[in-house]
Structure 1
Amino acid sequence: MGEYLGEFMGTMVLVVLGTGLSASANLKNAYAKGVDWLYISFGWGLAVMFGVYVAGSFGAEGHLNPAVTLSFVAFNLFAKTKVLGYLIAQFLGAFLGAVVIAIHYYPHFKMTKTEEEGNIVGIFSTGPKVPGKKGWNFVSEMIATFFFIYILLNLGQFTEGLKPLIVGMIITGIGLALGSTTGYALNPARDFSPRLAYAILPIPNKGDAHMEYAWVPILGPIVGAFLACLVHVLF
């Protein structure tokens, strides 16, 4: 149970810090409103790093990501008996993290009246910079996740020592290089659970959750992760 609690807590930390910086960048009267892409990419790198550290402290693998868990188990890099527990922990942790941010920024959501002002699902989940190109958006998510997972596989046990810091740097690098097309979900739990929270929670003045797009940041990362594991095993 310690491992599952670690995945739950680590994913919650990841989403609290990640969606928190997105709320700070978008909501009215937040000090960081209007910051640039470097802020976003660097902040998400820190969010993942601290999430991995927390998960590792419980003895978990620090996946925090169903794409990692599913691809690793498919290529015998992770125990099949733990898959369901990891997945449940990741999705629940991400959902609770989104709830925390909805509460923390509640007054700012009340002040931010419209999507044009910044009260958008993008605070909680990803979306394409160029709408109406879901096929290409899928390809972008697949490519970004491929390189993330392929680099990750070459770190070995990535909860040890300073390796979580390297994981965070990978996230920042991927964001800067490949993330500005779709917002680089890389992680189905990090995207879907907060998107669902935005859809069902009584957040004031909220916009559309864009559930029609949700399959892209779910399947794109999974396919990209599987391809990375395949290349890793073959070569």
Structure 2
Amino acid sequence: MNVYIAEFIGTALLLAMGSGVVANVVLNKTKGQNSGWMVITTAWALGVFIGVVVAGPHSGAHLNPAVSIGLAIVGEFGWEMVPGYILAQVLGAMFGAGISYLVYKDHFDVTDDPALKFAPFGTAPAIRKLSSNFTSEVIGTFVLIIVILYSTGPVIDDGQGTPIGLGSIGALPVAFLVWVIGLSLGGTTGYAINPARDLGPRIMHQLLPIKGKGTSDWSYSWVPIVGPVVGAALAASLFLLLGTGGVL
């Protein structure tokens, strides 16, 4: 499978599950309405598991621009491939969010609150203080990237000698990592920790003909984009500074 197609499919599966669980929990008249944060964080983690299982053998299953950038900073991913990966991830996230909208369209229609209609698409802070929200995204992504860098195996390539990332630590450990970040650090902003996860669905919210949808809150959108990139850069820089000479 082409690496970019793999990133598209893996990210689409991640967002179909992640956007879908939020819709199931917050929209009216669903079977899972009001089932809570544990359900949301668990399904997001298992969505990561699904995406990594499918994309991992082909692209390294970054599924996240922060991962691609972090790996490029430490020299384990070619910078020339970063734009293509990010584009595939954003488009995959858009497609996955679109799938969840199709599944839950009737429930969007019977939900009146615009904020609840937005929730399956983009993140929003519990307390809107941009400096704190930004810090939350930086820290959450730092944890994600530093654990990935210290836990993965040997470098893998595209079969022609071009590095596409470090060997997978396995889909289940990555899922547990995302799960604990959501449970521990995610209550402030909804833990985007992934620019594509927020940007792609936010674009879909803007484009889709959702009845009574309200604003897509573009004034906040830079936080879940810039925060994860900064967090990834800090994690990668620390990894290099410690001079491990490779993964532990």
TM exceeds 0.5? Answer: yes
Cross-structure match for 2:245: none
Cross-structure match for 2:146: 150
Output aligned runs, 1:62-141, within 5 Å.
62-115=61-114, 118-119=116-117, 121-131=118-128, 133-141=129-137
Equivalences, count: 230
Q: Matched residues in 2 for 1:144 and 1:20: separation?
A: 22
Q: Matched residues in 2 for 1:36 and 1:144: separation?
A: 21
Q: Matched residues in 1 for 2:75 and 2:17: separation?
A: 31
Cross-structure match for 1:6: 6
Q: CA offset at residue 81 of structure 1?
A: 2.7
Q: CA offset at residue 75 of structure 1?
A: 2.5
Q: Deviations over 1:48-98 (max 9, x none)?
A: 1111111124x1111000111122212212012321221111011001111
Q: Matched residues in 1 for 2:139 and 2:37: separation?
A: 19
Cross-structure match for 2:16: 16
Q: CA offset at residue 159 of structure 1?
A: 6.2
Cross-structure match for 1:192: 199
TM-score between the two structures when normalised by the length of structure 1 = 0.93
Q: Matched residues in 1 for 2:41 and 2:102: separation?
A: 24
Q: Matched residues in 2 for 1:104 and 1:38: separation?
A: 22
2:217 equivalent among 203, 210, 216: 210
1:169 equivalent among 148, 153, 176: 176
Tell me, which stretches of 5 or more residues in structure 2 are unaligned?
154-165, 243-248
SS of equivalent residue, structure 1 residue 105: helix
TM-score between the two structures when normalised by the length of structure 2 = 0.89
Cross-structure match for 1:219: 226
Q: Matched residues in 1 for 2:73 and 2:173: separation?
A: 25
Cross-structure match for 1:181: 188
- Given that 1:16 and 1:98 are in contact with CA atoms closer than 8 Å, whether structure 2 keeps it comes out as yes
Q: Deviations over 1:156-213 (max 9, x none)?
A: 14764x7110000000000111000000000000001101100111112212211110
- Given that 1:70 and 1:222 are in contact with CA atoms closer than 8 Å, whether structure 2 keeps it comes out as yes
Give the aligned residue type for 2:234. L
Tell me, which stretches of 5 or more residues in structure 1 are unaligned?
none
Q: Matched residues in 1 for 2:150 and 2:45: separation?
A: 18
- Given that 1:128 and 1:137 are in contact with CA atoms closer than 8 Å, whether structure 2 keeps it comes out as yes
